[in-house]
Amino acid sequence: MKSAVAMLMGVVILVADIYWTYTSYTDVTWLLLGIIIAVADLIWLAIDVSYLKGA
């Protein structure tokens, strides 16, 4: 259950980050921060999926 909640949070963060990055792509600083957050979120989701498979 905890892993499912964490995965849902990761998906929500990823969707919000994609929107935020898309709307601020003209500013390099915000674009880079959006990319960093997206990569960290994808790693978070990958770890949650690995925990789900291990359970």
Residues in the chain predicted with pLDDT less than 50, given as ranges, are: none
pLDDT for res 5: 86
pLDDT for res 55: 60
Residue 46 in contact with residue 8, Cβ under 8 Å? no
Q: Is the dihedral of CA 27, 32, 37, 43 positive or negative?
A: positive
* CA atoms of 28 and 48, how far apart (whole Å): 30
